[in-house]
Amino acid sequence: MQNRQKALNLIGLSQKAGKLVSGFEIVSISVKAKKVKLIILAQDAQTDTTAKITKIGKQNNVSVITEFNSSEISQAIGKKRKVLGITDTGFGKALLQKIKEGV
């Protein structure tokens, strides 16, 4: 549980640092522009959103993580969102590490 909170805090930090884009449209455009290093998709996102984001991620060789639900994501960044994109390699790697350690 503690790692889960640390991972969510990291998402909040990446937003404060300006290394996060949020919302389906912006994330999609940013992935295609090769700016996003890691996609965070809410577990409870709609099926078509999940399918589209997963496809965009695959096509552009960007990992998609679905470890969190929309309320956790929204709380972490202070906005209601289901799709986020981390644009910084360091933040992306740190977040993946936290998830690997178990969230």
State the average pLDDT for the chain: 96
pLDDT tens over the chain, length 103 residues: 688 999 999 999 999 999 999 999 999 999 999 999 999 999 999 999 999 999 999 999 999 999 999 999 999 999 999 999 999 999 999 999 998 888 7
Give the structural domain span for 30.
2-100
Instruction: Spell out the SS3 assignment of 55-101.
Output: HHHHHCCCEEECCCCHHHHHHHHCCCCCEEEECCHHHHHHHHHHHHC
pTM: 0.95
> pLDDT, tens digit, for every residue of 24-52?
999 999 999 999 999 999 999 999 999 99
Counting the structural domains of the chain, the total is 1
Q: Which amino acid is at 102?
A: G
Q: Is 48 helix (H, G, I), strand (E, B) or coil?
A: helix
We report the CATH number of the domain holding residue 64 as 3.30.1330.30
